[in-house]
Structure formats: C-alpha cells, structure tokens
C-alpha cells in the first residue's frame, strides 16, 4: 500500500503564499514529524506574473498552473491553502474547495469577515474544517485561542491594536510630534504603509479583523458593515500633545464588548491611559487584549503582518488540519450564529470624551459651552485653556468629560458648533479608561 501523504493545493505565489511554499519545502522533515506523514505540495495556482518570480523557477514547473480548473481537478489535494487576498476570486475558490470536501486554510481577512458564516456552514455540512488563524494579527495566535483555548469563558471584551500601519503612524506622531500627512509619507517611504493606504488608515482593515474576532468571540454573525468605523487621518499633532499632558496615549482600537443585552463593536481612535498595557504597544506591532469571565485578562502580542509571521500561522493551521484528516478528528465549528443578541447602535454607546475647540477669548464663553454640555447631561471632568491668540482674540480649550451617551455628545457638538463664540470644533476623541 502506498504511504499516506497529505496533499496541499496552494492558491497564490505572492509574498505570503511564496513563504508558505518555502516552509513546506524547507521544513518537510520537521513537519512530517509533527503530522506523522509527509505534507506534499500537489499544485499551486498562480497568476501569469507569478511565473517570473525566483521561487517559481525553483519549483517543479509541473506544480504550477494558471488555470483554476486544472487546480481543482488535481485529485491529490487534501488541504487547499488560499493566500491570494481580496474578496474576488478568493471567495468563489474557497466555496468551491469546501464544497468539494477539502479542508481549507486561508489568510484572507476580507473573505472571512464578509462571508465567514456561510463558509463555516458549508464546512460543517461537508464535515471539513475552515481555518483562518493568519487572517487576524499575522503570526499572533488569536483565532485558535478563541475557538479552543478560551471556550470555557464568556468573552466580555476584546480591545485590539490590529493594524500595524496605523500603529506605526500613531507611534511616530506621539514620539516625534509630527503631523499626520508627513508621517504617512515617511511610513510609505519606509515600506510600512502601502502606496494606496486607504484600507489601513481609514480603519477598514481593522474592521475586517474585528468582524472576524467578534463573530467568533460572541458566536454571532458580525459583518464589517455592522461596525462603526473611523480612521486616523483627522488626528493632529496638537491632540498628541494634549493626550500626553493629560496622561493618555492615542491608539486606533478595535473594540468588542458584550453584556446580557447588547454586543458593541467599533473601530476608532481612542485615548487610553498611558500606563495601560495597550498604550505600550508601539510601531508595527499588534496586540489583542481578551477579557474572559474565568480567565480574566489575556494579552496576545506580536508581529501582525509580514511573510514570516503570517506563514507561521498558516502552517500551524495546515498541520492542525492534517492531524484532523489523519485522525478523523472533525474539528469544524459546531455552533450556529446566535440571533438573540443585538448590536448596540452607536448612539447608545457610553464613553468619556476629549474635545478640542477654538473659541473667542471673551467673557462668558465657557459658561455657554458648559451650559450646552449640562443640558445634554454631559459632565465635565477637566478643562484646560491654552494658546490664546491675542491678535485674533481666540483661545484653544480642551475638555475631558465624564462618561456620556454618544447621542447626547453628538447633539452637544452640533449645538456648540452653532454658538457664534465657537470658531471651530477641532477634534473629538473617545476615551477608553
């Protein structure tokens, strides 16, 4: 009888997929020891431009195909590993692989965020597993902890820095006092931000990742469109100076909380206390703080992107899938997304707020502003006035509030903006303390 092998079909030969192919090839012996039989690349679906890559020339040319039909016709594939990225055509490929009864490993955050519930159901129907550890946090184990290690807990909250590009920019702005535009330009020159940085700086990438984490943690279907999302482009050097003076750091946080009634999911810049764990996560690093009712707080920290960390997560999924196949373990997701929990509308969210505004430097201004806040049940916790411009007769004031409802704050912001003495509401940042 022929010796059992586990056949892998790889989709993509870009930076991530190429590194996955290298690990399967270069660590064959160590992986065989983990699994108990060889993991063998059976077919690689490439784009025509991939054929010019150095790795394509090192691999057996019979492995490579630009034809999806030829890829799916390969009989020896047990596990399809998708590292193409983007929604299309990856979504169709994953549906096709699962429908054909293949185990699937993917690093694709967009497809899992938008179609995870459907793909998990398909996997369950076919009694195969869909694994996506690399879709959030690169090499940081977080999907597996939420699926397996922390299942005894009710997850009360997730607070995550899950976009390295924005964390790099915010770290530079905080440390160098630089403005957003010049910091983004520097990040692009250094290769930390993409030429088209929109998905990262507008919070879209973090929203995909939060949809994945919150769906798993709360066992419900949270779609990217359900998540209130704001990016970092409206942050100014002045906000960082005030944050430091007040004892805070500014981070782009992905937040998911639940209570008995609501699930609350949002991505936006926040003030967090400078001595908190997440405030110390600098540069391109990611960190995910999970609060479980039994385990308490657990922090996952590491490199959230890049071919080496991402291949680490992909290969771990491949090994786990291979073990399931060999032992018939059947680790597909059993739960159905719950329907009883409702997403909290943003208007109901309660946080503290930082407000920075430019006002006329004349008697009675603060009284008018504090009246509007008071009328909206918003209590001021501290106030600073600085940088009076004698010539323009204006001053900048910064207000920190006690916890208040978002709807009340939005009404107050509109009313304050309409005051003749308010020249500009310069910024408004929520505080997670």
| Complete DSSP assignment for 54-86 | HHHHHS-GGGEES-HHHHHH-TT-SEEEE---S
Task: State in angstroms the smallest separation of the CB of 275 from ligand HSE.
Answer: 25
User: Is residue 17 within the footprint of ligand HSE (CB under 6 A)?
Assistant: no
Half-sphere exposure of 80 (CA within 13 A, CB side): 31
| CA distance linking residue 43 with residue 285, whole number of Å | 34
Using alpha carbons, select from 320, 374, 377, 380 the residue that is nearest to residue 353.
380
User: Is residue 50 within the footprint of ligand HSE (CB under 6 A)?
Assistant: no
Q: With respect to ligand HSE, which residue has the nearer C-beta, 254 or 272? A: 254
Task: State in angstroms the smallest separation of the CB of 212 from ligand HSE.
Answer: 11
Q: Where are the alpha helices (DSSP H) in 86-218?
A: 90-99, 109-126, 143-144, 164-176, 180-189, 198-201, 204-218
Task: State in angstroms the smallest separation of the CB of 183 from ligand HSE.
Answer: 14
User: Is residue 269 within the footprint of ligand HSE (CB under 6 A)?
Assistant: no
Interface with ligand HSE (CB under 6 A), residue from 165, 214, 311, 312: 165
User: Is residue 164 within the footprint of ligand HSE (CB under 6 A)?
Assistant: yes
Q: Are the beta carbons of 397 and 424 closer than 8 angstroms?
A: no
Q: How many residues bind ligand HSE (CB under 6 A)?
A: 7
| Both structure tokens of 353 | 């707020």
Q: With respect to ligand HSE, which residue has the nearer C-beta, 305 or 372? A: 305
The total of other beta-carbon atoms located within 10 Å of residue 127's CB is: 10
Q: With respect to ligand HSE, which residue has the nearer C-beta, 9 or 137? A: 137
User: Is residue 163 within the footprint of ligand HSE (CB under 6 A)?
Assistant: yes
User: Is residue 231 within the footprint of ligand HSE (CB under 6 A)?
Assistant: no
Q: Are the beta carbons of 177 and 237 closer than 8 angstroms?
A: yes
x-marked contacts with ligand HSE along 181-200 as a string, rule CB under 6 A: -------------------x
Q: Are the beta carbons of 395 and 385 closer than 8 angstroms?
A: yes
Q: With respect to ligand HSE, which residue has the nearer C-beta, 97 or 193? A: 193
| CA distance linking residue 313 with residue 302, whole number of Å | 12
Task: State in angstroms the smallest separation of the CB of 163 from ligand HSE.
Answer: 4
Contacting range for ligand HSE; rule: CB under 6 A; set: 157-165, 316-324, 338-346, 356-364: 157-165
Alpha carbon 88 to its chain centroid, in Å, reads 20
Q: Which residue has the tokens 């939420």?
A: 146
Contacting range for ligand HSE; rule: CB under 6 A; set: 52-60, 68-76, 159-167, 360-368: 159-167
Q: With respect to ligand HSE, which residue has the nearer C-beta, 15 or 407? A: 15
Site for ligand HSE in 325-354 (CB under 6 A): none
Q: With respect to ligand HSE, which residue has the nearer C-beta, 21 or 305? A: 305
Site for ligand HSE in 291-310 (CB under 6 A): 304-305
| CA distance linking residue 258 with residue 151, whole number of Å | 16
| CA distance linking residue 169 with residue 269, whole number of Å | 12
Using alpha carbons, select from 119, 49, 33, 41 the residue that is nearest to residue 80.
41
Catalytic annotation present for 209: yes
Alpha carbon 140 to its chain centroid, in Å, reads 12
Strands 39-45 and 350-360: unpaired
Task: State in angstroms the smallest separation of the CB of 194 from ligand HSE.
Answer: 7
Q: With respect to ligand HSE, which residue has the nearer C-beta, 107 or 401? A: 107
Instruction: Exactly one of 43, 45, 209, 344 is catalytic; name it.
Output: 209
Task: State in angstroms the smallest separation of the CB of 165 from ligand HSE.
Answer: 3
User: Is residue 205 within the footprint of ligand HSE (CB under 6 A)?
Assistant: yes
Positions marked active-site: 209
Residues forming contacts to ligand HSE in the complex (CB under 6 A) are: 163-165, 200, 205, 304-305
């Amino acid at each position: 009888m022929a010796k059992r092998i586990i056949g892998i079909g790889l989709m993509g030969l870009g930076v991530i997929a190429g590194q996955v192919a290298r690990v399967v090839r270069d660590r064959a012996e160590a992986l065989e020891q983990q699994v108990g039989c060889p993991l063998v690349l059976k077919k690689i679906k490439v784009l025509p431009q991939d054929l010019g890559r150095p790795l394509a020339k090192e691999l057996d040319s019979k492995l490579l195909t630009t034809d999806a039909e030829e890829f799916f016709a390969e009989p020896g594939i047990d596990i399809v590993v998708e590292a193409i990225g983007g929604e299309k055509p990856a979504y169709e490929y994953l549906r096709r692989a699962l429908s054909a009864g293949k185990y699937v490993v993917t690093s694709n955050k967009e497809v899992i965020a938008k179609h995870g519930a459907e793909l998990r159901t398909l996997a369950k129907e076919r009694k195969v597993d869909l694994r996506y550890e690399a879709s959030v946090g690169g090499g940081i184990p977080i999907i597996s902890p939420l699926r397996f290690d922390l299942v005894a807990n009710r997850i009360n909250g997730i607070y995550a820095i899950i976009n390295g590009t924005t964390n790099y920019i915010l770290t530079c702005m905080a440390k160098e006092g630089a403005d957003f535009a010049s910091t983004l330009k520097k990040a692009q020159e250094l290769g930390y931000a993409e030429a088209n940085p929109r998905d990262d700086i507008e919070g879209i990438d973090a929203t995909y990742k939060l949809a994945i984490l919150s769906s798993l943690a709360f066992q419900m279907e949270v779609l990217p469109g359900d998540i209130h999302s704001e990016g970092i482009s409206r942050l100014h050097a002045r906000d960082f100076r005030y944050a430091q003076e007040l004892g805070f750091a500014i981070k782009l946080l992905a937040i998911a909380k639940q209570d008995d009634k609501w699930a609350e999911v949002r991505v936006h810049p926040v003030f967090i206390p400078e001595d908190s764990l997440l405030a110390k996560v600098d540069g391109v690093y990611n960190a995910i703080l999970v609060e479980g009712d039994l385990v308490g707080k657990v922090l996952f920290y590491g490199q959230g992107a890049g071919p080496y960390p991402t291949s680490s997560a992909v290969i771990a999924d491949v090994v786990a899938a291979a073990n399931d196949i060999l032992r018939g373990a059947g680790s597909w997701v059993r739960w159905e997304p719950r329907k009883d929990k409702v997403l909290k509308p943003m208007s109901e969210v309660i946080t503290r707020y930082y407000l920075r505004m430019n006002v006329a430097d004349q008697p009675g201004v603060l009284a008018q502003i504090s009246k509007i806040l008071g009328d909206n049940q918003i209590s001021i916790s501290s106030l600073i006035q600085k940088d009076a411009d004698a010539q323009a007769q204006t001053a900048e004031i910064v207000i920190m509030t006690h916890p208040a409802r978002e709807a009340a704050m939005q009404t107050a912001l509109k009313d304050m903006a309409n005051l003749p003495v308010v020249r500009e509401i310069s910024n408004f940042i929520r505080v997670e303390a």
